[in-house]
Amino acid sequence: MHYRSSNIPAMVHVVTALFAIQAIAGVILLVAWWRHGRRSAASIAGHVVANGSAGVVWVVFAVTGAIGWAWLAVVLLTIGNTLGDALLRRRWRGMSGRSEGFGRDYGGAIGAVFRGRMPKAVVFHALFAGAVYFSCLGVAIGATVAAVR
């Protein structure tokens, strides 16, 4: 199924640009992580691979217009962002020196992001993830609706 709306292509390009900005922020964080000699490679690798793959799949959608690719990008972003949230919770536990369970650790991490207690690059990357995710989801929904009309 392909979309048939004249409004969709512009938004596809906006989301592509958002992916690129987020990828640049992610590379900056990844380089900093390597420079500090951190070794939690499995969770970082999963986050990078899932979100990087989502970006590639999104470009395939942008080129072909085939809606299945947009939805696959949403699925991959969901996986990648979930892994990113786990990294954020782990960082919070390291900063706070304690673990109080999933919900409280997640709340503490989000609170630290909004209070500016995390590094600026982490804050940007964490908050911008929502912009990428929800714009990608919105375009996938819009393209699906446009295709069935």
Summarised one tens digit per residue, pLDDT across range 73-125 is 999 999 999 999 999 998 899 898 988 888 898 999 999 999 989 999 999 99
Give the span between the Cα atoms of 126 and 65, in whole angstroms. 29
Where do we find the tokens 């912009």?
131
Give helix 120-148 / helix 102-114 axis angle, nearest 10°.
100
Query: Would you place residue 35 in the very low, low, confident or very high pLDDT band (cuts 50, 70, 90)?
Result: confident
pLDDT of 56 > 60? The answer is yes
H or E element in which residue 97 lies: none
